Amino acid sequence: MDKVKCPRCSREMRWISRLKTYFCDNDGYILSPHEAELNGLVETERPATLRATGAVGGLIGAAVLGVLAGLSAFVLDQEVFYVTIATKLGLSSPLLTGWALHFLVGLIAGGVFIAITALLKRFALDTTRKSFWVGLLGGIIIWIVVYVPVADMLAPTDLSNLMFAGGSFIFHLVYGVVTALVSLWLIRRSVRTQLTT
């Protein structure tokens, strides 16, 4: 069960299952599960669940980014970036391995992203608006930390092409937002499920 801190005294509140309410033994404060979640008073004890949430969010974000990149590659009559990278790395079946690498990076980046947001309370995914902005920031960081160095080493012409680099920047912003919002939805859903059982 997750821990809920009392908003008055910051002590851990006790869950009363038959009333479906949190109760503070120190000062008698009563709190509904919905209020605890909305006010950010729930402290999860399941970091593995959070990482899995981020991984799922990262996979969905990678799928959205992949669709956008595939459409833009089709319109510009170019090869998709991940396929180019797989070809440059000499991997067999570049189309398949390129997409596999893309989803693997999305999965790992989503897990790391959610772990960082769980550790740093300032970036906690607790509201939709905040998750949107944290997602944008995450997308910028992932573009700088992952895309730019890989493109610089294996496909430097992609960075010098303003349209391609700008498009990939926007796609990574979309990735960050989608990852954050999907993760927020999954976190809320798991908290709601835990509170009703």
Q: Would you give per-residue pLDDT tens digits along the chain (197 residues)?
A: 568 888 888 888 888 878 888 888 988 888 888 888 777 777 654 555 666 788 899 999 999 999 999 998 888 888 888 898 999 999 889 899 999 999 999 999 998 988 888 888 788 888 899 999 999 999 999 999 999 999 999 888 887 888 888 889 999 999 999 999 999 898 887 766 555 55
Structure tokens at 192: 């709601």
Record the pTM: 0.72
Q: What's the pLDDT score for residue 80?
A: 87
User: How far apart (Å, rounded) are the C-alpha atoms in residues 94 and 186?
Assistant: 33
Structure tokens at 16: 């009363």
Q: What's the pLDDT score for residue 140?
A: 96
Is 30 in a helix, a strand, or coil? strand
Is 91 in a helix, a strand, or coil? coil
Q: What's the pLDDT score for residue 18?
A: 80
Q: What's the pLDDT score for residue 49?
A: 64
Q: Which of 126, 136, 138, 110 is nearest to 44 (CA)?
A: 126
Neighbour count for residue 157 (Cβ, 10 Å): 9
- Per the CB < 8 A criterion, the answer to whether 83 and 98 are in contact is yes
Q: What's the pLDDT score for residue 73?
A: 86
